[in-house]
């Protein structure tokens, strides 16, 4: 669903002219203090200073002015589980026990298609409230969980990547498929959803522990036989998990090699977590152009470890990285919160993540990690008109602190440290206003 009517947004535009990990972070930012974005038919037609572009405002253009609020590309969540929304904030476990105690029972409830529809709707509404316009999402083993998600995404007009979880062992019986049934159900879902409007399919083996070698081979077959589909799975998140993978696949040289052997690495493959990686693993990701999802709130919450973002992005063999919330192990759907936690994780590894680098991981870098950077992630002519508007004065403390900011970079840093959904004043999807937060009251369309 696109807005055909011409619309223009005026405000402080913040986007990228370059990769802030490859150049000086400040000069990678493209800032227009009093900017104008012209949108039509779901796309951005022009971006620049208000003074330069105002003559292009025709009488039928709707102009929305956001004053001193920042206009950014919509956030992109590269790793999230929508069915885990009901068990976000579940106490006391690390990954293997957390999956058994909370996640598997929650996912089993998706046998009920009505529940799947309800959670999908609530989840996507929360994403809009967070200013997140694209996500790479896990569904459950049930095909109807995928239908529920894409149906709601199609209604909103969002660009989403999602797929049915494949699990044929080491999971409760009601959550298991087989190598053959998982292949057949995934093929049918690809035929139904992949490339329909803005929806894209991801082949989704949960992780090496819950798939037999036959199922991983079947996933490889799906990738080889369907153009442009994605692959998402988990990698090297937790020490106990890694020991189990070693026991299950003694003939493989590493956890990553399990996936490599099945043909699962490539430019549309996104591996979640990747905390405990060797230099050989990073090199192999670089060679195959596989991407990693950095999920700081989840890695802290489950006590999994610290992702080394600067190692992953090492200029000698950079690996593409985007930010993921990893709900329900993650603790917030807000990418502002996630950027703030990514900063703290980097501090614990002795490095300071620049606010431009954090914003990059949440927008343009995330788009690049999903091979979608010609469509989303930056504000430029020809890009899809997915935007979020961030209010630097959303709370009294934010107002107090941001009044003292001397630069947009400082402002961004304060927003990512103190901000969350309350700062998202509006979310635009394909040129349409989808969420609006007017102080105490917020509305969804
Ligand atoms: N590894 C396998 N499944 C999951 C999951 O649902 N969440 C996280 N964080 N890690 C996993
Ligand atoms: Zn996950």
The residue whose C-alpha atom lies closest to atom 9 belonging to ligand 1 is 329
Report, as an integer, the average pLDDT of 338-353.
Answer: 98
Q: Is the pLDDT of residue 288 over 90?
A: yes
If pLDDT is split at 50, 70 and 90, which confidence band does 438 have? confident
CA distance linking residue 275 with residue 266, whole number of Å: 19
Is residue 64 within 8 A of residue 10, CB to CB? The reply is yes
103 pocket-lining for ligand 1 (C-beta < 6 Å): yes
238 pocket-lining for ligand 1 (C-beta < 6 Å): no
Cα 53 → chain centroid: 32
CA distance linking residue 410 with residue 355, whole number of Å: 8
Nearest atom, ligand 1, residue 138 CA = 6
Q: Is the pLDDT of residue 75 over 70?
A: yes
Instruction: Determine how many CB atoms are found less than 10 A away from the CB of residue 104.
Output: 17
Nearest atom, ligand 1, residue 328 CA = 7
Residue 140: the pLDDT is 99
Q: Is the pLDDT of residue 444 over 60?
A: no
95 pocket-lining for ligand 1 (C-beta < 6 Å): yes
The one-character DSSP state at 164 is: P
Ligand 2 center to residue 105 CA distance, Å? 16
Q: Is the pLDDT of residue 1 over 90?
A: no
Nearest ligand atom owner, CA of 97: 1
Mean of all residue pLDDT scores within the chain? 97
211 pocket-lining for ligand 1 (C-beta < 6 Å): no
Residue 442: the pLDDT is 54
Best residue among 206, 232, 245, 301 to mutate for probing ligand 1's pocket (most ligand atoms within 8 Å of CB) is 206
CA distance linking residue 410 with residue 122, whole number of Å: 33
Element (H, E) at 234: strand 230-235
Nearest ligand atom owner, CA of 136: 2
Is residue 222 within 8 A of residue 203, CB to CB? The reply is yes
Is residue 190 within 8 A of residue 201, CB to CB? The reply is yes
The one-character DSSP state at 384 is: B
Ligand 2 center to residue 360 CA distance, Å? 21
Nearest atom, ligand 1, residue 209 CA = 2
Summarize pLDDT for 209-267 with one digit per residue, the tens.
999 999 999 999 999 999 999 999 999 999 999 999 999 999 999 999 999 999 999 99
The residue whose C-alpha atom lies closest to atom 8 belonging to ligand 1 is 329
Residue 171: the pLDDT is 98
66 pocket-lining for ligand 1 (C-beta < 6 Å): no
9 pocket-lining for ligand 1 (C-beta < 6 Å): no
Summarize pLDDT for 170-215 with one digit per residue, the tens.
999 999 999 999 999 999 999 999 999 999 999 999 999 999 999 9
Summarize pLDDT for 81-106 with one digit per residue, the tens.
999 999 999 999 999 999 999 999 99
81 pocket-lining for ligand 1 (C-beta < 6 Å): yes
């Amino acid at each position: 669903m696109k807005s055909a009517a011409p619309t223009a947004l005026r405000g402080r535009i913040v986007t990228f002219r370059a990769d802030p990990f490859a150049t000086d972070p400040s000069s990678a930012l493209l800032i227009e203090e009093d900017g104008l974005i012209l949108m039509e038919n779901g796309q951005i037609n022009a971006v620049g200073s208000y003074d330069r572009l105002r003559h292009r405002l025709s009488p039928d253009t709707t102009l929305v002015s956001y004053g001193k609020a920042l206009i950014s590309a919509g956030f992109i969540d590269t790793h999230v589980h929508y069915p885990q929304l009901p068990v976000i904030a579940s106490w006391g476990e690390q990954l293997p026990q957390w999956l058994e105690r909370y996640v598997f029972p929650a996912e089993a409830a998706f046998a009920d298609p009505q529940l799947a529809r309800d959670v999908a709707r609530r989840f996507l509404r929360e994403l809009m409230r967070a200013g997140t316009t694209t996500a790479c999402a896990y569904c459950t083993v049930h095909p109807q969980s995928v239908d529920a998600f894409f149906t709601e995404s199609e209604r909103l007009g969002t660009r989403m990547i999602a797929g049915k979880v494949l699990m044929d062992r080491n999971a409760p019986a009601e959550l298991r498929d087989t190598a053959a049934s998982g292949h057949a159900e995934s093929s049918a879902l690809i035929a139904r959803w992949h490339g329909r409007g803005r929806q894209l399919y991801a082949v989704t083996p949960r992780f090496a522990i819950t798939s037999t070698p036959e199922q991983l081979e079947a996933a490889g077959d799906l990738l080889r036989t369907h153009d442009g589909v994605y692959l998402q799975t988990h990698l090297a998140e937790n020490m106990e998990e890694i020991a189990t993978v070693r026991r299950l696949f003694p003939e493989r040289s590493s956890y990553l090699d399990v996936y490599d052997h099945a043909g699962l690495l490539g430019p549309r493959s996104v591996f979640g977590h990747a905390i405990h990686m060797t230099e050989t693993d990073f090199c192999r990701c670089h060679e195959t152009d596989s991407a990693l999802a950095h999920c700081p709130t989840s890695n802290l919450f489950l006590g999994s470890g610290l992702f080394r973002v600067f190692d992953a992005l090492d200029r000698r063999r950079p690996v593409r990285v985007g930010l993921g919330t990893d709900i329900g192990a993650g603790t917030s759907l807000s990418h502002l919160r996630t950027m703030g936690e990514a900063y703290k994780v980097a501090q614990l590894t002795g490095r300071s993540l620049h606010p431009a680098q954090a914003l990059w991981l949440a927008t343009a870098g995330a788009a690049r990690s999903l091979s979608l950077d010609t469509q989303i992630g930056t504000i430029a002519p020809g890009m899809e008109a997915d935007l979020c508007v961030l209010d630097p004065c959303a709370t009294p403390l934010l107002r107090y602190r941001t009044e003292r900011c001397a630069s947009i970079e400082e402002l961004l840093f304060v927003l990512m440290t103190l901000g969350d959904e309350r700062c998202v004043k509006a979310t635009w999807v394909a040129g349409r206003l989808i969420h609006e937060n007017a102080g105490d009251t917020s509305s969804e369309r």
